[in-house]
Structure 1
């Protein structure tokens, strides 16, 4: 019984952790929910992010959504994008996002 309790507690702790971190470049990418927001933007492509949605128990839906968005922001930054918008629902820990460039590219 003690082993089961330890396993359950450990699972709950792990399921509440955030494993994905936004990179410094990813921090400059914004997430929008409305297609109207990106009407005047240049579409650069699409990314699909995946995280574990279940570790013994189903993970918190909001945490999974946040991690998927963080991964997509990181990938969008690598593509030269500054904005992402979800194009699918979360399914089995996966979600697709369109990547846009809405602001003039910065010169360095």
Structure 2
């Protein structure tokens, strides 16, 4: 009787536990890297008009016309990772300065610290 080879089964190959573990590790590494890169990105760029808006304390607005209150919000988390407070604060200030310029204001006064990615400012037109 001639040597007969057994036919190889057709269809999808079963993944071994080692391959699944390696795949999960690679996916986790890529996801972690993406979150780290995105969390360091600046999402709000200061416009040319926004650059002309100054930040002051409330004591520097005696001779100014009050324009209104600006509430800005930004991204304080990317996925489950908290972004740096300084980065979030900088973006909130950039957004507020851009918005103030659009309202005809040239001075901003913060009305408190950023909380959960939100902050309020008072906008003024000063001589």
Shared topology, TM-score over 0.5?
yes
Inter-partner Cα distance in structure 2 for 1:4 and 1:60? 22
Which deviations, in whole Å up to 9, do the C-alpha atoms of 1:3-44 show, x marking residues without a partner?
A: 111111111111011011111111110122x22122332211
Out of 8, 13, 18, the residue aligned to residue 42 of structure 2 is: 18
Q: Which has the higher contact order (CA 8 A, sep 6+)?
A: 1
Q: How many residues align?
A: 102
**Offset from partner CA, 1:37-86 (integer Å, 9 cap, x none):** 22332211010011110002000100100100011001111111001011
Which structure 1 segments of 5+ residues have no match?
104-108
1:84 and 2:69 equivalent?
A: no
1:47 paired with 2:70, answer yes
Runs of 4+ residues deviating >2 angstroms: none
The two structures have a TM-score, normalised by structure 1, of 0.88
Which 5+ residue runs of structure 2 have no aligned equivalent? 1-24
> Once the 2 structures are TM-superposed, how far is the Cα of residue 89 of structure 1 from its aligned partner?
2.0
Higher-Rg member (1/2): 2
Q: Give 3-state SS (helix, strand or coil) of 1:20's partner.
A: coil
In the alignment, structure 1 residue 75 sits paired with structure 2 residue 99: yes
CA RMSD of aligned residues (A): 1.1
Q: Are 2:58 and 1:35 equivalent residues in the alignment?
A: yes
